[in-house]
A and B are shown apart, each in its own frame.
With several copies, the nearest count.
Chain A
Amino acid sequence: MEHLPRMLEQTAIIVSNKRDTDSYFRLVLRAPQIAPLIQPGQFAHVRILPLKEALLRRPFSIFQVAGDTFSILYKTVGKGTDVLSRMSAGEELSVIAPLGHGFTVPPVGGEIPLLVAGGYGMAAMFLLAQRSPQKGIVFVGGRRRVDILCEQEFAALGWEVRATTEDGSHGEKGLVTQPLLAELRTPHSALRTFKLFACGPTPLLKAVGKLAEDFNLPAELSMDEHMCCGTGVCLTCVIPVKAGESWEYQRTCTEGPVFDSRQIFWEGVK
């Protein structure tokens, strides 16, 4: 039988739920059984109990873990996140977590991580940065200044942060892959080996996958697919993954969300 990672369902109490920038919010949840199990890149599947007419849970990357709490950093984009943003400390959510196959934390003395994040993709990468023995660089991009999240937190870990915005309102103007490309082209000592880690919208992941191929670097990508069950039973969240000569669908919620870039059958990814 296939390997299935451990997960729990728990009623989590909201510790705080505060606006970060613009339409982004930080939610801290008390979930004592879940918090200690969390690995970087895993997600929580959240049932927003006061949500009307809509049944399904919403998936969110786990941002930070502290004691018996964990937090998420979310953007209000639709009815679920809108209702979530109006909830207050003390209210309850139902959470299934930790879910999915996350990032591989580099071993001591191993690769230097280059993180690439778009928007709330930053949330998925914090634990990785925190737990990586080597500090690396995080390339973060967004449309506007407000889309660049938690720079300080990464900086406080001793990481270098390179921000880009499409409108130039913060950091370099352009796409997040530009400074990354520049960095990759800079000659480095042979001892220094990089590994790419990315989370963000599919075009970003595609671009990072392409760079990984071009520079022959390993890359782990957290794929962005709509989910339903989040636990591997419904087969909603599949992406095409290479299998021998051909390809097969694998579940983002179970085999993913993090996949080795070389395993992805990119021709089949929309």
Chain B
Amino acid sequence: MNLSVKIGKLTMPNPVTVASGTFGYGAEYARLIDLNQLGAVTVKGIRLNPVTGNPTPRTAETTSGMLNAIGLQGPGVDGFIKKYWPFLKSLEVPTIINIWGTTVEEYAEVARRFDALGGVGALELNVSCPNIKAGGAQFGTDSTLLAQVVTACRQATTLPLITKLSPNVPNIALFAKVAEDAGSDALAITNSFPAMAIDIQTRRPKLANLTGGLTGPAIKPIAIKLVWEAAKAVKIPIIGMGGIQHADDAIEFLMAGATAVAVGTANFYEPQTPLQVIAGLREFMLRKKIHDVRELTGSVQTAK
């Protein structure tokens, strides 16, 4: 049975990674699960310099989902390399580094730095974080800016480039195509949805940042639709995510058109989820006599 998939020139031993920002820098959950079973480890978003992030409260629970406005707290490129890279480098599975900047040049500079580091599996361009003023969804909802960011990063590195699109557009196919044309090797779909919750007792938003991003099982049907739309528009592979809790959810993303998937919010309440998804996927393939996981990609039957 073949479970391995390719994201640009990166080979993942199986199609299941974790979503950026829901798995720290890998080491934390290494205490609960064997990271070497994963398809790849994807780390929290990094920009050039350290980032303090937003004030608290930063998350709030919602119906079958949650809001977050962490504000991309992080150690910056140097801090990351010093503190977390030695461990990640020691893993048998590739690391996908989620990067961002507030200018096109900063994105490119971060890409250059990780290109120079050596050993990185792929870079994921976060152009879709709803929780920061500059550099987040701004790049992901403006197709001209998106093309600029991807082009600049493409020039800065030969590492596989995954563009993480914003869900908050009426036509995801257009943005998918822009990223592909600008040289992205793959897409990641979807990031969180701009959202809000209010504590009616205090009349204050539940997040200090006022608004945040909605993630978790609640959004899965929207994410499936986005992946399906994008997959029809491009030839490059898609990493599908948004509310995956069970192997069935992952298989649904694959059928919709994803080549790989990422487990996000579910890690917070059930850190075993990525391994359970891999096991369930294997079992499904056995039962259905599917020999290569790539047969699942885009296999939804849509003839009316």
Which A residues form the contact surface with B (CB < 8 A)?
A: 1-2, 4, 6-9, 47, 53-57, 94, 96, 225-226, 228-229, 231-239, 248-249, 254, 270
Contact = CB atoms under 8 A, between A and B. Distances in A.
Interface string B237-279: 0000000000000000000000000000101111110000000
A233 B23 contact: yes
Contact of A7 (B32, B83, B84, B216): B32
Interface stretch (B52-60, B143-151, B152-160, B181-189): B52-60
A231 B272 CA distance: 13
A236 B215 CA distance: 14
A232 B64 CA distance: 22
Report which residue of B32, B59, B217 has the largest number of chain A beta carbons within 10 angstroms of its beta carbon: B59
Interface stretch (B66-74, B105-113, B282-290, B295-303): B66-74
B203 interface: no
B59 A234 contact: yes
A47 B245 CA distance: 15
A54 B59 CA distance: 13
Interface in B5-34: 21-24, 27-29, 31-32
Q: Which interface class (under 10, 10 to 19, 20 to 34, 35 or more) fits B?
A: 35 or more
A238 B56 contact: yes
Contacts of A56: 61, 66, 268-269
12 contacts: A54-B63, A55-B64, A56-B269, A94-B270, A229-B22, A231-B31, A231-B271, A232-B24, A234-B21, A234-B70, A254-B28, A270-B55
Nearest to A8: B32
A6 B87 CA distance: 17
Contacts of A57: 268-269
B95 to A, nearest CB: 14
Interface in B69-88: 70, 73, 83-84, 86-87
Contacts of B27: 1-2, 4
A53 B52 contact: no
Given A53-B63, A238-B73, 11 more contacts: A1-B87, A6-B31, A53-B64, A55-B64, A57-B268, A228-B68, A229-B22, A232-B24, A234-B22, A237-B56, A249-B52
The 7 A-B pairs with the shortest beta carbon distances in the complex, nearest first, are: A233-B24, A229-B268, A232-B28, A236-B59, A228-B59, A53-B63, A233-B28
Q: Which of B27, B53, B86, B268 has the most CB of A within 10 A?
A: B268
B65 interface: yes
A238 B53 contact: yes
A226 B31 contact: no
Q: Dominant SS at the A interface?
A: loop
B268 to A, nearest CB: 4
A256 B88 CA distance: 24
A2 B59 contact: no
Nearest to B30: A4
A254 B27 CA distance: 13
Contacts of A8: 32
A164 B10 CA distance: 57
Nearest to A234: B268
A8 B272 CA distance: 11
Contact of B271 (A9, A236, A254): A9
Contacts of B44: 235
Nearest to B31: A7
Contacts of B58: 235-236, 238
Contacts of B216: 55
Contact of B70 (A53, A94, A235): A235
Given A55-B65, A233-B23, A233-B29, A96 B271 contact: yes
Given A1-B87, A228-B59, A236 B217 contact: no
Contacts of A47: 269-270
Contacts of B24: 232-234
Nearest to A9: B32
Nearest to A228: B59
A80 B44 CA distance: 29
Contacts of A236: 56-59, 68, 70
A115 B202 CA distance: 31
A7 B31 CA distance: 7
B67 to A, nearest CB: 10
A55 B264 CA distance: 13
Given A4-B27, A233-B24, A226 B59 contact: yes
Contacts of A7: 31-32
